[in-house]
């Protein structure tokens, strides 16, 4: 990965150049639950995220068969907003770092 001058900062006390890591990407995960119908989960993905029917069905089946699916990736604050909205729809959802 190429580092630019924008990726570094100068320490004010020592004058050392510090490497600043870019904000780690985060994911919004939806978990399988025994309550919501598969058709409802697919509908939530279409209505909230604007996914196509095919993508919504694929994600819903991933939740159903593997127990979870990544439905969004981005900055932590945005993923927290997505998870809160998914909770409002009654889905089980969490935020995690993208590499976990």
What CATH code is carried by the domain that includes residue 55?
3.30.1390.10
In terms of residue numbers, what domain contains 30? 24-97
Q: Per the domain annotation, does 47 fall within a domain?
A: yes
Q: Tell me how crowded residue 91 is: count the other CB atoms within 10 A of its CB.
A: 22
The share of the chain scoring above pLDDT 90, in percent, equals: 74
Give the pLDDT of residue 1: 42
Q: Per the domain annotation, does 4 fall within a domain?
A: no
Q: Per the domain annotation, does 31 fall within a domain?
A: yes
Mean pLDDT of the 45-60 span: 98
Q: Per the domain annotation, does 12 fall within a domain?
A: no
pLDDT of 59 above 80? yes
* CB distance 33 to 82 below 8 Å: no
- pTM: predicted TM-score of the whole model, two decimal places: 0.76
- What's the domain count of the chain? 1
Q: Per the domain annotation, does 8 fall within a domain?
A: no
| Secondary structure of 24-62 in HEC code, one letter for each residue | CCEEEEEECCCCCCHHHHHHHHHHHHCCCHHHHHHHHHH
Q: How confident is the model at residue 6 (pLDDT cuts 50, 70, 90)?
A: very low
């Amino acid at each position: 990965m190429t580092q630019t001058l924008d990726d570094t900062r100068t320490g004010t006390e020592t004058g050392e150049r510090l490497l600043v890591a870019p904000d780690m990407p985060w994911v919004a995960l939806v978990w399988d639950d025994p309550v919501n119908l598969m058709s409802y989960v697919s509908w939530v993905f279409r209505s909230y995220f604007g996914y196509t029917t095919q993508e919504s069905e694929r994600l819903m089946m991933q939740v159903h068969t593997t127990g979870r699916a990544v439905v969004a990736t981005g900055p932590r604050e945005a993923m927290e907003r997505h998870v809160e909205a998914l909770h409002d729809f009654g889905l089980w959802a969490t935020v995690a770092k993208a590499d976990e």
